Amino acid sequence: MGVLRRGGLAVVGLGSIVAVAVSAPVAVLGANTPGYSLANVGAYGGEPSIVSDSLGQLYDTTPSGGTVTYTSTNRGSSWKQVTTADANSGDDCLATDQSNAVYLCNLAGSQGVAPLQADVWKSINNGTTWTHGAGAIPQCATSCSPFGVDRDWVAASIPSGGTSGSAEVVLMYHDFYGPSQIWVNISHDGGATFGAPQEVLASPAVTPGAVTGTLVAQGYTFCNTVPAGVRIVPPGLPHAGRIFVAWIAADLAQNATGCNVSMLQSFHTLWVSYSDDNGITWTPQQAFDGGVGHDASTPFVGFTTDNQGNPYFGFTINLNANPATCSAESTAGTVQSDTSCEYDMYVVWSRDGGSTWDGGGGLIPGSAARPYRVNPAGERGTHFFPAIAAGDPGLVDVAYLRTTEILPTDAFGKADPGGCAGPGPANGNPTTYPPTCSWNLYGAQSLNLTSSPGSATWTTTQITSTPMHIGDICNLGIACVAPSSNRNLLDFITEAIDPQGCAHIAYSDDNTVNKLRAANQTSGPCVIKHPVH
């Protein structure tokens, strides 16, 4: 499928609201807008995943050169490398449980004999040693899927009265050789052993009342998906134990043009499916539909839950575009004057555990009629690589990359490969393309998403003052072709909050610093109002 792949410097925010990074400790944050400091994590690596445990210890991993993982015990100011679980690596992710055990997912590792499988590794000593999660059949990796695996995610939670040894651990992914369905493998012994793959949209693994919803979801999902993440609601909360899996999809009409090895379709629908019985049955729900010709696969979306177990998507999409018009303007070289063609940053969320999104009103019952727009209208350009983290309900941090250029698009609403590589035959591009794009990291925050999408407010901060990437960011996965279709960053950035609710963003800089980096919040409000110390 299309997404397969093999120093602390203080900065001044220059976005729509100026924010200055300070070195004050988290306990005395006082400014009205979040400020950040930058730290070098380690050697350059793409698509880093970041997570915090309940004590505030941070972990950051990249698949570049094995499952290379780092940890920080001082809120991201400095980092040290821990033991590498597997010398072979692909798609990665991180999670922790309530005991502060760390879980690492990894694609195409060295544990199984079958190709394109996913593994789960666990450490109970902060990354000093790792144990492997055994699959259903020996020498079959953790996933043990006959259809191959792509874009894996992992989540873990200890049930009430249990220990890390009895934690529920869920590995989620979609298949590579099959019709791009959403699957899970579940462990009930803390990640020591996992069951066989379970398809979340397959009968009989759907609740009787959700059969119609499952058929609708399958119509959109079959053949074209990008997994967004998996979460488990902790004990003591509404919907405790609920497992969420999330993904984006295209639609039936586009499915007829071919499955998403190419990623050529516009992925305009956002979905969750949730289980309240440890994965035996599932209830699918559409979160939002941006409409045909509007593409949220840039190439991934962000997915998270807040501290009450409510789910959120953070995504970028050319929501206001007329695909035919924008394509014609892209060909003619006039798209820079049409801001309706740009990709902007949005959020949708559910305050009732995934049943209703942004109050509902969408074409499919329960789905959002309108998302929350994050970046202000004056912040024009292209917004890619969305990330999201939530604290208290309605209190959200997001991050994204932005260039001031509007990326050329095709008639399907997809970004043109090489569209940010610069104009001219030397780049293999038309002379009508915009100048080579310079990308910077941005952070944004809302403390009132309990308000409607039209009345919620955001503060936005430009975090990097020197671009962290120059050139194209291709969203066609393995269909990206060098040299113009640049995939140096791979496919995403991620964001996490610490126990105080302060943000930490993992990203890669391949321009001047050439390091794996972290942006750590050092001032301004955090998204947990009353943290437990």
Q: Which of 469, 515, 464 shows the shortest CA–CA distance to 488?
A: 469
Residue 204, pLDDT above cutoff 80: no
253 membership: H or E segment, kind and range: helix 252-255
- Strand residue runs (E) in 379-433: 382-390, 396-403
DSSP secondary-structure letter at 339? G
pLDDT > 90 fraction of the chain, expressed in percent and rounded: 78
Residue 382, pLDDT above cutoff 60: yes
Residue 267 CB partners (closer than 8 Å, separation 6+): 224, 226, 248, 249, 250, 295, 296, 297
Residue 206, pLDDT above cutoff 70: no
Query: Looking at residues 219-243, what average pLDDT do you find?
Result: 93
Predicted confidence at residue 207, as pLDDT, reads 58
Residue 244 CB partners (closer than 8 Å, separation 6+): 229, 230, 231, 232, 233, 272, 273, 274, 303, 305, 311, 354
Predicted confidence at residue 486, as pLDDT, reads 87
- Per-residue pLDDT band at 406 (split at 50, 70, 90): very high
Residue 64, pLDDT above cutoff 60: yes
Predicted confidence at residue 139, as pLDDT, reads 83
Residue 26, pLDDT above cutoff 80: no
User: What average pLDDT does the structure give for the chain?
Assistant: 90
Residue 203 CB partners (closer than 8 Å, separation 6+): 211, 214
198 membership: H or E segment, kind and range: strand 198-199
Q: How far apart are CA 444 and CA 38, in angstroms?
A: 16
Residue 471 CB partners (closer than 8 Å, separation 6+): 420, 421, 422, 436, 437, 486, 488
Kindly report the three-state secondary structure assignment for every residue of 95-107.
Answer: EECCCCCEEEEEE
pLDDT one-digit tens code per residue, 410-469: 998 999 989 999 998 888 889 999 999 999 999 999 999 999 999 999 999 999 999 999
Q: How far apart are CA 420 and CA 441, in angstroms?
A: 16
- ∠ Cα 474 3 414 (to 5°): 45
Residue 208, pLDDT above cutoff 70: no
- ∠ Cα 506 512 513 (to 5°): 45
pLDDT one-digit tens code per residue, 113-156: 888 999 999 999 999 999 999 999 988 999 999 999 999 999 99
- Per-residue pLDDT band at 7 (split at 50, 70, 90): very low
Predicted confidence at residue 482, as pLDDT, reads 75
pLDDT one-digit tens code per residue, 265-294: 889 999 999 999 999 999 999 999 999 999
pLDDT one-digit tens code per residue, 87-97: 999 999 999 99
Residue 25, pLDDT above cutoff 50: no
Q: How far apart are CA 214 and CA 219, in angstroms?
A: 9
Residue 20 CB partners (closer than 8 Å, separation 6+): 12, 13, 31, 35, 523
pLDDT one-digit tens code per residue, 67-83: 999 999 999 999 999 99
Q: How far apart are CA 414 and CA 292, in angstroms?
A: 11
The bridge status of strand 372-373 relative to strand 344-349 is antiparallel
